[in-house]
Each structure stands twice: as C-alpha cells, then as structure tokens.
Amino acid sequence: MVGAVRRAIFLNNISRILIGAVIAAIAALAIIFLLYPYFNAWFSGGTTWTAADFNNPAPEEDIYYLNTTGNFGGDTGYYYESTYLFIPVGREHYGAMFIGDNTLLITKSGSPMPDFDSDYTVSGTLKDFSSDERNEILIPFRNEIPSELADIIYPKILDMTDSENKGLWIGGAALAIGAALFGVYWVLRGIAFSLNPNGHPLWKNLARFNLPPEDVLRGIEADRDSGTEKHGKLELTRRWLTFRTAGSFQVMRMQDVVWLHGYLVNGRYGTTYFVKVYDRHGVEIQAPVKKDDMEPTLQAIFRRAPWALAGTTKEAEQLWKKNRADFVRQIDERKKSIERGESSGS
C-alpha cells in the first residue's frame, strides 16, 4: 500500500510538471509572437505608411498600429455580426479608403463608418482577410463596384478594432502573464514534491488520522487481508474506504463517514454516475461507477457505516455547507443510538 501511494505521488508530480510546462510554454508563445509585437508597436508609436508604401508587395506578417491617411470613400454597407449561442454580441462595419492608386478596406467595431469630406487618418492592424471576411465582405463588394476600382483593392485589410480596444489587449496580456507564472509555479511544485514526497498533499492528507502515514497504510493493508469489496476504483474493507487512480489516492475510515449519496452528470455523450462520500473532516470522495453498480455501492458503504446520512436533500446540502459541525453532531447522535441498539431512523 505504501508503494501504491508513492507511485500515485510520482505520477501526480509528473502530471504537475507536464501540465505546468505546457501552460507556461503556450503563454510564453502568446507573449512572444502575439502580445509583444502589439505592445511594442503601441509604445513606439506604430508605423506610418504613405501612398507609395501601398504600391509595394504586401507584407506577409501583420503590422500593428499602422498609421495612414487617405480619402475616405464611405461605409460599404457591409458588416459582420458575431454571435454567441445565437445571441449577437458584436458588430464590425467595413469602409473603403482611397490611398494613391489603391483602395484599402478598413473595419471598426460598433457603429457604421462616419462620413468625412477631407483626408482621413486611420490607425490599426494591417492583416490578411479572414475566410469569412473574404467570402462575405470582399467578394460581394468587388462584384458590385466598377471593375477599375475592384482591380485596385489592396490585398490586406486595416483592422481599427485593435487600436480601439486596448483594454482587451491589456487584459489578454495580464491573463497570459498570469498563466505563464502559474505554469512555472506548477512545475516548481512538481519538482519540490518529487524531491520531498512526504510534503505532497496525498501524503499529508493521511495525517488527519493522527498517526504516521506509514502506520495508516499498513493498517489498511492489514485490513485488506480480512477481505475487500471493489466497486469500480473504490475499495471497501471492514474499516477503510480507498479510491485510487493513476495520480491520486484518497482514503477514509468507515467510522468517520457521515454522508453518502449518488450523483448524476448529464452530458452530450450520456449520463455519468458517481458515488459521493463525505467524512467528518470535510473530505469528499467522488468516484465514478457504472449505472447498475451505483445503488449496490451505496448499500455496501452504508452496511459498514449505518449511522451515515444516505441520500441528499437541499436542507442537508445547506447544513453541510454552512454548519458542518452541526451536521457531524447530528450524525454522532445517530451513531450513539445505533451503538445503544436503538433504531437509526434510516
């Protein structure tokens, strides 16, 4: 049993290190290749293009904070509406500018493009048309304007939204930096627990029994020799309940069990069945079981802890959350009644 817990701790540490490294790496890539170019362009004042620059081949990379001035041709009448769960959450409008011998399409969020009689200076990200913009905006627009204008549409679009919505970029930067720090912290925790397995939460949780963890595990192993009952990954002995997965190990004393009930989760691919068990210390075990095994599992636990509350009500849930001490006190009274040979009332 000691070896099984050590293996669970080892696998848990490997998982921590790998997950932390992946999170930190993704966040670092976002900072380096997405956020840094944006903020560097913002703080440096961006890049200014004249009409002559638009006559050169279009750059392959996006250009943040590109500033340019041209004759405003007006709103095209086209817009792209973003939705979430079929609810509109944003709208981008598209306009046209004449810059030298080129027609530049521009986009901004919110209200339609205003009309300007004079030169119009804009700032935004020069980038490729998305597939939706190409199919729903660019192609229809080209088809309805004179061919001599359609032929001089610049192959990239200037997105003014990035310049307008600085708050979103600041929020994204904070999120990416926070994710990177969290990933590094997770890696360091995994390394620290690998160097000191006795400091791992899986090992320290065994201390609530007021015995050295090795003695607790030896007691469980000795109890297993008297017979076990398995339900999925739950294992029941006369005095102990254990739940083991590849990187986790949870244990309860049967005498500490105060509440148990079934729990269903309805998902896209069907219903998942769980057994939830709580002990007097506030520890919860949530173990998946097969549909036909949920009731036998609960009955097997209840036979070993007949004083526990079996089933759930809103009142029980509220009492557990708000006053666990009173919840445990009521169960202790039931337990004393059983020990005196009285009915448990269940």
- Each of the 346 residues of the chain gets a pLDDT tens digit; together they read 788 888 999 999 999 999 999 999 999 999 999 899 889 988 998 999 999 999 999 999 999 999 999 988 888 888 888 877 778 778 889 999 999 999 999 998 887 777 665 678 889 999 999 999 999 999 999 998 888 888 899 999 999 987 777 888 899 999 999 999 999 999 999 999 999 999 999 998 888 888 899 999 999 999 998 899 999 999 999 999 999 988 889 999 999 999 999 999 998 889 999 999 999 999 999 999 999 999 999 999 999 999 999 999 999 999 999 999 999 999 999 999 998 876 444 4
Which run of H or of E encompasses 104? strand 102-109
CA distances 159 to 47, 61, 74, 109, 341, Å, are 14, 14, 16, 9, 78
pLDDT at 345: 46
pLDDT at 171: 93
Residues 145 and 84 placed together within one structural domain of the fold? yes
Number of domains in the chain: 2
State the alpha helices, DSSP H only, in 196-246: 201-204, 213-224
pLDDT at 1: 76
CA distances 70 to 21, 49, 125, 242, 289, Å, are 47, 10, 16, 72, 67
**Residue 185 neighbours by CB under 8 Å, 6+ apart:** 20
pLDDT at 87: 81
Query: What's the CATH number where 129 sits?
Result: 2.40.50.140
Show which of 134, 165, 199 is a domain's final residue: 199
pLDDT at 344: 43
Give the HSE-up count for residue 5: Cα atoms under 13 Å, Cβ half-sphere: 24
pLDDT at 117: 59
Residues 120 and 244 placed together within one structural domain of the fold? no
Residues 104 and 1 placed together within one structural domain of the fold? yes
Phi, psi of 58 (to 5 degrees): -65, 140
Is 38 contained in some domain?
Answer: yes
Residues 165 and 31 placed together within one structural domain of the fold? yes
Residues 163 and 39 placed together within one structural domain of the fold? yes
**Residue of 279, 240, 241 lying closest to 259 (CA atoms):** 279
Residues 285 and 302 placed together within one structural domain of the fold? yes
Q: Distance between CA 157 and CA 286 in Å, rounded?
A: 52
Q: Which domain holds residue 11?
A: 1-199
| The model's pTM | 0.70
Residues 235 and 186 placed together within one structural domain of the fold? no
Length of the chain equals 346
Is 344 contained in some domain?
Answer: no
Residues 210 and 194 placed together within one structural domain of the fold? no
Give the HSE-up count for residue 339: Cα atoms under 13 Å, Cβ half-sphere: 8
